């Protein structure tokens, strides 16, 4: 089992499943939501996600139609995102997980939107200009 928490520690969660590979996203929305060049997301089955504390702290922002970004209202940490059309998948932010991870990034998405000051490492992973196909 893997556990994660936000910056203030008010939101704590567990993932009761094997982790999927990390998906890196360089879109402009993720850039602003994270305050950095890339979002590092892990898709998790909603049934395997357990919110341990902080239900009252979570807030949602609909950054584009049908896409909710869920964050801690006390410290601002992004926690996960969810599509209204796919409520069974939560895309948790890998940086919140507390243990060393057994998974690694698997792809770079929306690289056409990447900030011009950031260089993607030559890691051999697939790169998608927009949404991965």
Residues at the interface with Zn ion (CB under 5 A): 6, 8, 10, 25, 27, 30, 72, 74-75
Please list the alpha-helical segments (H only) found in the chain.
28-34
User: Is the backbone of residue 9 left (phi > 0), alpha (psi -120 to 50) or beta?
Assistant: left
Least separation in angstroms between residue 48's CB and Zn ion is 22
Least separation in angstroms between residue 92's CB and Zn ion is 14
Residue 13, exposed/middle/buried by CB under 10 A (0-12, 13-18, 19+)?
A: buried
Q: H helices then E strands: how many in the chain?
A: 1, 10
CB-nearer residue toward Zn ion: 47 or 56? 56
Least separation in angstroms between residue 47's CB and Zn ion is 24
CB-nearer residue toward Zn ion: 72 or 94? 72
CB-nearer residue toward Zn ion: 19 or 27? 27
CB-nearer residue toward Zn ion: 27 or 90? 27
Least separation in angstroms between residue 27's CB and Zn ion is 3
Closest CA to 5 of 75, 63, 87, 103: 75
């Amino acid at each position: 089992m893997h556990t994660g928490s936000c910056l203030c520690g008010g939101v704590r969660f567990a993932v009761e499943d094997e982790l999927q590979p990390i998906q890196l996203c360089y879109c402009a929305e993720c850039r602003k939501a994270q305050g950095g060049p890339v979002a590092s997301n892990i898709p998790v089955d909603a049934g395997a996600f357990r919110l341990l504390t902080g239900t009252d702290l979570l807030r949602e922002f609909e950054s584009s139609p049908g896409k909710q970004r869920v964050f801690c209202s006390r410290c601002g940490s992004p926690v996960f995102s969810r599509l209204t059309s796919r409520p069974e998948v939560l895309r948790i932010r890998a940086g919140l997980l507390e243990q060393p991870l057994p998974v690694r990034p698997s792809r770079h998405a929306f690289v056409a939107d990447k900030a011009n000051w950031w260089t993607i490492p030559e890691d051999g992973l697939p790169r998608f200009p927009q949404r991965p196909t």
